[in-house]
């Protein structure tokens, strides 16, 4: 049951989320997170989909993690079906922070290969957090279909996700090292090095993968 203070502060905070100033929206999100109120959850989720400021989005996510997962998770899962890419990516990000594995069935292969890079990256991170024990190999196989995608940051995100799965990803990564596409081979080989040595730098791993490829393609 809401307290008298919440009854006074909640409308003010919800109104603050609509303010044109990012600093006001940030304070409003912090206020809601500091005094969780289930009546605010819908508005927090709604705002995540359209909030342009990164710091405010992070605070909205934090505020959502302060509320019961039984309330937040179903609403966030609903956002994964939205056409707006930011709605999907921020919902995935928030689900990864909440860590409730009841959300796992909603992390579909379509999300893992979403055309929008931020949605795909958020899905990779969420999947690694939420994957149930025993399903890591299947997740690794789905992630491996994205080898060679995008630029450095995109490739690094995928490698980190696979490394987080540990040896369960090993066989899948090694299989991709023989792919006909050189971008896939280089990315897979760099990831395999990171699996063996998580402290290795990604750039070093990529360069080593290229050197190995040259030796294999031009022996002797």
Q: pLDDT tens-digit profile of 60-115?
A: 999 999 999 999 999 999 999 999 999 999 999 999 999 999 999 999 999 999 99
pTM over 0.75: yes
pLDDT tens digits for 50-59? 999 999 999 9
Residues lower than pLDDT 70 in the chain: 1-9, 200-220
Tell me how far apart the alpha carbons of residues 159 and 188 are, in angstroms, rounded to a whole number: 8
Question: What topology is assigned to 24-130 in CATH?
Answer: 1.25.10
**Structural domain spans, the chain:** 24-130, 136-220
- The per-residue b/e assignment along 108-130, b for 16 or more CB within 10 angstroms, e otherwise, is eeebbebeebbbbbbbbbbbbbb
Instruction: Say if residues 209 and 185 touch (Cβ distance below 8 Å).
Output: yes
């Amino acid at each position: 049951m809401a307290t008298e203070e919440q009854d006074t502060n909640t409308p003010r905070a919800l109104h603050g989320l609509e303010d044109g100033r990012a600093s006001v929206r940030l304070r409003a999100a912090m206020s809601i997170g500091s005094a969780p109120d289930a009546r605010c959850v819908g508005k927090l989720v709604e705002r995540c989909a359209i909030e342009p400021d990164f710091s405010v989005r992070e605070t909205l996510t934090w505020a959502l993690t302060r509320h019961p997962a039984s309330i937040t998770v179903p609403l966030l899962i609903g956002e994964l079906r939205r056409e707006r890419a930011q709605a999907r990516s921020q919902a995935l990000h928030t689900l990864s922070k909440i860590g409730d594995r009841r959300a796992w069935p909603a992390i579909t292969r379509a999300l893992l290969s979403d055309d929008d890079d931020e949605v795909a990256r958020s899905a990779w991170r969420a999947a690694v957090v939420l994957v149930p024990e025993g399903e890591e190999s299947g997740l690794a196989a789905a992630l491996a279909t994205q080898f060679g995608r995008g630029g450095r940051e995109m490739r690094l995100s995928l490698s980190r996700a696979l490394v987080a799965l540990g040896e369960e990803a090993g066989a899948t990564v090694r299989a991709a090292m023989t792919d006909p596409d050189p971008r896939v081979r280089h990315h897979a080989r760099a990831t395999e090095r990171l699996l063996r040595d998580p402290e290795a730098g990604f750039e070093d791993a990529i360069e080593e993968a290229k050197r190995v490829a040259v030796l294999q393609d031009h022996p002797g």
